[in-house]
Amino acid sequence: MKNISEFILILMAVITLTRGAEEIYAQEGGNITLRPPASADLQSHYVYWYVNGKECALCNPLGRREVTEGFTNRLFLSDGCLLTITNFSKEYYGIASCEVKLLRVTQATVVYEVLKVTVNMNSLSPLLHGETLSLVCDPQTPQSGKKPHIHWLSPQGEKMKNQGQLTVRAEAQYNGTWTCVVSSDGKESTAKISVMVLDLSPAPSSPQYTSESSPLNIPCLIPEHISWEQMKAKGIQGGHWTFIPKPGTTPTSADPQRLFYLSLEDPISWKEVEAKKLTLADPKTKNLSLTRNKGSNKDGGDYVCTLEFKNSANLSRTVHVEVLQITASPGTELISGQRLNLTCGVGHPLPSNLHLKWSPPKQSPLSLTPDRHPPHLTIPEVGRGDGGKWRCELRQNSTSLCSADITLKIEPRVSVWMLVIIISVAVIVILLLILVFILCRRRQRKTRHLRHRLCQCKNPKPKGFYRT
């Protein structure tokens, strides 16, 4: 009796197939979910599920859901009597069907032709950035002979233009799970494959700014999901940091300078070549960033972080560094009343999303409108209040990227009138001294004369001189 009913079922399924079963594609190890016929009323109907003619699950009007013994670890029924087959394996390919019955009379049937879809990668995993990533999605041809439509979704869910075979240049964003979508008659099935692309984290798209009073940070990171073991397996040969100075900073040349190289001998470590007082974290942390607590005016240029692999394949990132500087013309030591020009910048006009903020010393009379802080400030006559520390901040919206300082020394001015007064006083003093000197001399001469006369009196004249 059971055999007959099974036979009838399969026969029915085959008959339905010729009328067009719903094609659904399953990947080995994947999951698929099947729906009962749309007309099923779960409040009054019995719903039976069959896989290749074997009854495997049922839902009754009282809300009971039951998976037949032998299927319990693979099949699950969810709300609406949807059947999910997990961890798909060979014996489930073929025909799956669902019957809706009322008082043992079949009300509706749906038949699924469960077909195999395989996805493969025609390249050696992991891939290096720039290598060719080739994926193939191959669905089994259904009984109807109608080929399904195929497309690929990138790990970010981006729909790729390619059909069954996908060939792209490996990029960091292609690391992750790729999905092949097989659609027939508007029904979509998916198959997944995971791809690993070795790459460095993206370099910052805008320059890194530093100054003599701000830190220097040149980032280069190996993404979380990549390990040194995978790099070694891919044939890493070494690595280095190279600096290409900004043209014009050093009078000698703009030749690239090797700053550090990576020694792969255990333990993996950095070796310094050119001392620029830059520091690096332990490469084991996969943080290859260069840092220094203060920038210098010679730091401007391009920094290239490179990992070398066999067959001269490279992974590299370039970080552009700009140095913010304040220059004072004619200088930082001024006499009050002098004209002063202050310029803050990186040596060329700033991008429009960045702006400057000046902070003059507290006692400076200079007032700047909050929305206008130009790169050039002209002070027609500096005063003593302008002496002290001037700060110029480089900002993006309201966040400070870095700041530069300059200290001005202002000496008081010696005016013409002050000179006249000083000279006059000096002249008067000299004249007075001369006068005192002359007076003294005259007094001395007078006393001598007097003494002389007194002496004459002491010695009485000979009597003969007296007139008789």
Ligand X SMILES: *[C@@H]1O[C@H](CO)[C@@H](O)[C@H](O)[C@H]1NC(C)=O
Pairing of strands 132-139, 165-169: antiparallel
221 binding ligand X? (CB under 6 A): yes
**Taking CB under 6 A as the rule, which mask of x and - marks residues 6-45 in contact with ligand X?**
----------------------------------------
Q: Which of 232, 294, 298, 339 binds ligand X (CB under 6 A)?
A: 339
**Residue 9 neighbours by CB under 8 Å, 6+ apart:** 50, 53, 97
Q: Which of 330, 337, 347, 351 binds ligand X (CB under 6 A)?
A: 330
- Closest separation between CB of residue 204 and ligand X, Å? 12
Which residue lies nearer to ligand X by CB, 24 or 377? 377
Report the phi/psi class of residue 109: left, alpha or beta, with left for phi > 0 and alpha for psi in -120 to 50: beta
Which residue lies nearer to ligand X by CB, 34 or 410? 410
Which residue lies nearer to ligand X by CB, 39 or 378? 378
Which residue lies nearer to ligand X by CB, 361 or 375? 375
Length of the chain counted residue by residue: 468
Q: Which of 253, 312, 397, 468 binds ligand X (CB under 6 A)?
A: 397
327 binding ligand X? (CB under 6 A): no
378 binding ligand X? (CB under 6 A): yes
Q: Which of 291, 316, 332, 359 binds ligand X (CB under 6 A)?
A: 291
341 binding ligand X? (CB under 6 A): yes
Which residue lies nearer to ligand X by CB, 87 or 396? 396
Q: Which of 68, 143, 230, 287 binds ligand X (CB under 6 A)?
A: 287
Count of residues of this chain found to bind ligand X when the rule CB under 6 A is applied: 13
**Residue 134 neighbours by CB under 8 Å, 6+ apart:** 121, 122, 123, 165, 166, 167
Structure tokens at 313: 């394949």
214 binding ligand X? (CB under 6 A): no
Ranges of beta strands (E only) in 123-213 are 127-128, 132-139, 149-153, 165-169, 176-184, 187-195, 197-198, 208-210
**Gap between the Cα atoms of 93 and 32, Å rounded:** 11
How far does Cα 63 stand from its chain's mean position?
54
- Closest separation between CB of residue 398 and ligand X, Å? 8
Q: With DSSP H G I counted as helix, E B as strand and the rest as coil, what are the percentages for the chain, rounded to 5?
A: 20, 45, 40
Structure tokens at 76: 């699950």
- Closest separation between CB of residue 331 and ligand X, Å? 9
Tell me the Cα Rg of the chain: 47
Ranges of beta strands (E only) in 52-186 are 54-59, 65-67, 75-78, 82-85, 94-102, 105-121, 127-128, 132-139, 149-153, 165-169, 176-184
- Closest separation between CB of residue 211 and ligand X, Å? 17
**Gap between the Cα atoms of 300 and 246, Å rounded:** 5
Q: Which of 106, 297, 396, 400 binds ligand X (CB under 6 A)?
A: 396
Chain residues that interact with ligand X, rule: CB under 6 A = 217, 221, 281, 287, 289, 291, 329-330, 339, 341, 378, 396-397
